[in-house]
Amino acid sequence: MKKFFALFLSLMMLFACTAFAETTIDMSAPTFEVGEDSAEYEVDGASGWNVVTAYVKIAAGDDVIFNGPVTVTSDNLTVAEFTLAAIYEVGCGQEGLEAGFVTSIGDYVSGTDADGNYVYWANSVNGKYVPHTCTDMKVLEGYYINWDFVAYNADAGLETTAVLPCGYAAPFEVGEDETEYEVDGASGWNVANINMKITAGEDVIFNGVVTLTSDTLSVAEATLAAIYEVGCGQEGLEAGFVTSIGEYVAGTDADGNYVYWANSVNGKYVPFSCDQLRLLDGDYVQWDFVTYAAE
């Protein structure tokens, strides 16, 4: 078992190096052509508040097991849940999804093939390497989840493609601010460049790139790094619900309207607290101080 996880971690690090290679990415192109399969799945005990449709493709070479939209009702909306929904739909078996490390889907089982190569299931989200387990990585509306049964050869390396299009348009123009931040106790395995913009109307508090070293790569950690850089205060980030950044405090303004901090990731609504959503390299995080009026 120890040898398996050592090999797994080595493969993931090598895949990370491959995925992070300098590549020109078409931000708005879909990661893959979506097929005609479809599935709907409601997790037992789900509150019903969070319903998201993502695109899932599961393939072993030319054998496409599933390709199409998957709608999941869940309080967690993890990659594992979307993948499980697709697998339930086609009626094939799997092992490892609930634990976060897939060892088999259908007839394709991780291990050594006839040529002595190690074969395994690898997943990407929006065309990007995922340094999280599939039970930890959450999914937003319109995300692309791609599972491939790939081979590793000690001489040839990983049989993977270059970084793929991410499937969404860049939601803002990235400014010139920049900072680096390493979370206390981080292993150093996970490093991501996050595009971060924090604004209150015309007041741009931070707009630029945060280089984050963290085992979790959460929205909260990336945001805290930006706030540390500009030297303004904040409240609520550690708890996942921001009540103030700088002099902008959630509450009722002079006109009786409720004002608050709202965030989006890759231009999409986030139905989680900011300490729960994990980021991938090149993601976009935007915070706006907005007004809610009952009318």
Confidence of residue 1 (pLDDT cuts 50, 70, 90): very low
Cβ atoms of 79 and 124 within 8 Å: the answer is: no
- 168-199 residue pLDDT tens: 899 999 999 999 999 999 999 999 999 999 99
Cβ atoms of 134 and 12 within 8 Å: the answer is: no
Residue found under tokens 């231009």: 267
The per-residue pLDDT for 58 is 98
Q: Name the DSSP class of 163.
A: P
Which one is predicted more confidently, 293 or 256?
256
The answer on pLDDT for 167 being more than 90 is no
Give the number of other CB atoms < 10 A from CB of residue 188.
9
The answer on pLDDT for 3 being more than 80 is no
pLDDT, mean over the chain: 89
The per-residue pLDDT for 225 is 98
The answer on pLDDT for 208 being more than 60 is yes
Query: pTM here?
Result: 0.87
Strands 258-265 and 244-245: unpaired
Give the number of other CB atoms < 10 A from CB of residue 45.
7
The answer on pLDDT for 7 being more than 70 is no
Share of the chain above pLDDT 90, in %: 78
